[in-house]
Chain A
Amino acid sequence: METMLDISSLSRSYDDVMVVDDVSFTVVPGRVTGFVGANGAGKTTTMRMILGVLAPTSGEVLWDGRPITTAQRRRFGYMPEERGLYPRMKVREQLVFLARLHGITREEAARRATELLEHFDLGDRADDVLDTLSLGNQQRVQIAASLIHRPDALVLDEPFSGLDPVAVDAMAALLAKEAGDKPLLFSSHQLELVERLCDDLVILSHGKVVAAGPVEELRGRGPDRYRVSLDGGDIAWIRDLRGIDVRDVDGATAVVDLCGVSASELLSAVVARGPVREFTPVRQSLSAIFREATR
């Protein structure tokens, strides 16, 4: 059995305003879970509660089915939304310090810091003071800081913001390698990125989970939608068919939702009227799901 990270009915209020309201979801090990929601939806607050930096008003975080301990939380890797490291401390020294806080020996910490810095091509900047690095490089060091102690789980708040596409790819590759079979939760505004990287998705709106599950499943949710194209001619007659809901008609192409007939029944009906060039199921885009869920 692999170790799951369960978020169970977490709530947090500030001055009677519910910022996070009864949020529950599971971060499955070995799968990348994306955490999306509009600004102020409660993503950061939820992540801070998972890390124990903020106490929940109610609810709990479970690790392996049991309430999580402080010792276990220390074995998590965390990248807060508001980036922060010691600006006047040397890069490697800083990483070694953080690793030692997590209980790792100095020697091992130094080895690990060198390894991570080299991965980011920052090996030659190891003895430079952090704030002499460019912002992009500081961001890389920040990621290294969250990975320095080989965490059991990763919770990253907007890890890709401020990175160029090449850096995003490099970081995504590193995260995939580092996370391996461990739970990885990250939040992001960049839906294409989430679509590309995530296996599971949790959508938060106004402090509540409005959709959660495997990305494929979420996209498959909703009506069975098909695009039908004839090999020439006008398809307007499709409106007369029963058991479908026509969403759009444009010349020889129509988009319809099935409501009562099966896909093969629809296909037979269309083929009966002439040659068909295209008949494909339409999967919802993530942004459509997101818009729908947070509407």
Chain B
Amino acid sequence: MTTTSIPPTTSPYAGTDSVRGAWRVVAEREITTRVREKTYRYSLLAMVVGIVATVVLSSLLGGKPTDHTVGVVDERGAGIVTAASAEVDRADDGSSAEPRELASAEAAEQAVRDGDIDAALVPTDDGYEVIGDKEIDGTLSAALTSAASGQVLESNAEEQGVDLGELTAGSAVSERLLDADAEDAGSRQVAAFVFVLLFYVTAVTFGMTIAQSVVQEKESRVVEILAAAVPIRALLWGKIAGNTVLALGQIVVLVVTGVAALAATGENGLLSSIGPAMAWYVVFFVLGFVALAGLWAVAGSLASRQEDLGSTTMPGQIILFAPYILAVAAGEGVKTVVSLVPVLSAMIMPARMAEGGVPAWQIAVALGGNVIGAFLLVRFAARLYERTLMRTERKIGFGEALKLSD
């Protein structure tokens, strides 16, 4: 019988172009193994619940409309409170002020003290007095003051036969914001912080997954069989691809949850202002994660046992922790600079974008830097990975790995 070294391509065992497809098989195993883990599903669920809770809570605490009840003792006072209600609504979305007729100034004072009403508006010799218990809501107080002076002015003008319209002509003052983004500044800062936090948590989680998956293969010695079956690089690509898909999936789920929660709580203004930043966030996350994925794999291949991961994953942890701390603690200037440094910028730039006012060129620089950074870092990591993966006998240091020959 004659055999040749080239198997017939029609056989299921031919495997002609399978060298190229091997990374996909590796990626698929990474994904299915992880998705089946209970810890993975529970932690994702916990994060989804966390985001919904954050959005709902901040919506309740921040924008909750208040209905102020103001005690009055005369008809004029009731009119002032009714007029003030419109002002309160304008200043504090959905809030209102309602008059409650009371017998006397003393009764009104007592009602305030008892907490039955939020404030009382009682006439004095030279006008009105707003009475509160320990404090008076600023918006309410301002609205009452302006409504009172408006009403009194109107009636005085009427008494004296003066045309109030003529008298106040040219005094109208309106507002125009140059930095319209500054609206919702507080909410946007919260969003930026949540961006950074979730970036950090997700990147570290799946980075550690890569490192653990590599060291598990070394510990169980299956790596020897894998290396005989496929090129070592295919193993690396598969791990990077599989875990990037998982991490991206998680980020997308979280972003969609955030969007849905914002929409459901009626925060449409905030949504439309940070929406683009959310989209960029996903793009930057992928670039930032891929850039470091290779290093996480190297952290696994330097280790010989799970216990070694603590030290070998240190560089990855630091590279992620540094921008996290900067994003939380650093000033505007530092953040601007770091948001242009490749890899670190992946975390900082979307956060700055959520806060608003980032020039387009800076976004372009950060983006370009990350693409190049990811490319170079993965190549560098692939070399280290190939050199160290098969050395199962002991832990190898980063410095030592750099000196190793192939």
Contacts and interface: CB of A to CB of B under 8 A. Distances in A.
Interface stretch (B132-140, B224-232, B336-344, B358-366): B224-232
Interface range on chain A (Cβ under 8 Å from partner) = 35 or more
Contacts of A75: 7, 13, 15
Contact of B222 (A86, A102, A105, A149): A86
A286 B224 CA distance: 31
Contacts of A51: 228
Contacts of B390: 53-54
B290 interface: no
B223 A149 contact: no
B219 to A, nearest CB: 9
B124 interface: no
B225 A80 contact: yes
Given A75-B7, A101-B226, A150-B13, A85 B220 contact: yes
Given A75-B15, A100-B25, A103-B14, A53 B227 contact: yes
Contacts of B25: 97, 100-101
- The residue among A73, A75, A101 with the most chain B CB atoms within 10 A of its own CB is A101
A74 B3 contact: no
B5 A64 contact: yes
Given A64-B5, A74-B230, A103-B22, A84 B220 contact: yes
B26 interface: yes
A103 to B, nearest CB: 3
B19 A2 contact: no
Interface residues of B, number: 37
A228 B216 CA distance: 62
A74 B1 CA distance: 23
Nearest to A130: B220
A3 B226 CA distance: 25
Interface string B93-134: 000000000000000000000000000000000000000000
B19 A149 contact: no
Nearest to A145: B225
Given A85-B225, A97-B29, A104-B18, 16 more contacts: A48-B224, A55-B406, A74-B19, A74-B229, A74-B230, A75-B7, A80-B221, A82-B224, A86-B220, A100-B25, A101-B22, A101-B229, A102-B18, A102-B229, A107-B12, A108-B13
24 contacts: A52-B228, A53-B228, A74-B19, A74-B229, A74-B230, A78-B224, A80-B228, A82-B224, A82-B392, A84-B221, A87-B220, A97-B25, A97-B29, A98-B225, A100-B25, A101-B22, A101-B229, A102-B13, A103-B13, A103-B19, A103-B22, A104-B18, A108-B12, A149-B15
Interface of B: 1-5, 7, 12-19, 21-22, 25-26, 29, 33, 216-217, 220-231, 390, 392, 406
